[in-house]
Amino acid sequence: MSRFHVSITPEPDSRTAKATRNTQSSLPYSANSGTHLSMSSSHNKYSVLLPTYNERDNLPIIIWLLAKTFKEHKLDYEVIIIDDNSPDGTLEVAKQLQQVYGEERIVLRPRAGKLGLGTAYIHGIQNATGNFVIIMDADMSHHPKAIPDFIRVQKERDYDIVTGTRYAGNGGVYGWDLR
């Protein structure tokens, strides 16, 4: 019996994947439709949740890196941008990116105000159409280059959750101003 696949979450500049496996049996569940999904299909879709607040300058870069990573590895994906009414014009940039990459790849789910990161993830999960969810930050603290390794680890071991950490193995923080 398949397990509920929750997330693949890279930590900043992580090079080590840490994974856990849920021992409870349950069928995969789609928060969007309230129905169970079959995981027997060889086709997987990855929903990247990208909460934003004042990320106008970072958004084109992270979207380009995500699109490049998914294309190079021939993976189906969508990026769900959850903008919390950024005053810097982040949503307008997101709309331009949607025109470039397509509405099936860039999904806009803006909110009326700055409602917080946790509720942004919940909002994103409720709108995800993929059978796997990837949680990232738009500020470049999570690099998309780690995604294929996380997917590989998940597939090899049938993990429910795969997460990266900067505190183990080759993980670390590089280029951060620690003032």
pLDDT tens per residue, range 102-111: 999 999 999 9
Give the pLDDT confidence score for residue 178 in this predicted structure: 52
Q: How many CA atoms lie within 13 A of 70 on its CB side?
A: 19
CA dihedral over 41, 7, 80, 149, signed as positive or negative: negative
Give the pLDDT confidence score for residue 169 in this predicted structure: 72
pLDDT tens per residue, range 110-149: 999 999 999 999 999 999 999 999 999 898 888 899 999 9
Among 105, 96, 49, smallest CA distance to 78 is for 105
pLDDT tens per residue, range 5-64: 344 444 444 433 444 433 332 223 333 333 333 333 468 999 999 999 999 999 999 999
CB 106 within 8 A of CB 127: no
Phi, psi of 58 (to 5 degrees): -80, -30
pTM of the model: 0.74
Give the pLDDT confidence score for residue 176 in this predicted structure: 58
Q: In what order do the strands lie in the sheet with 76-83?
A: 17-20, 161-164, 7-9, 132-135, 45-52, 76-83, 106-108
Give the pLDDT confidence score for residue 151 in this predicted structure: 94
Q: Which residues contact 1 (CB under 8 A, 6 or more apart)?
A: 25, 26, 27
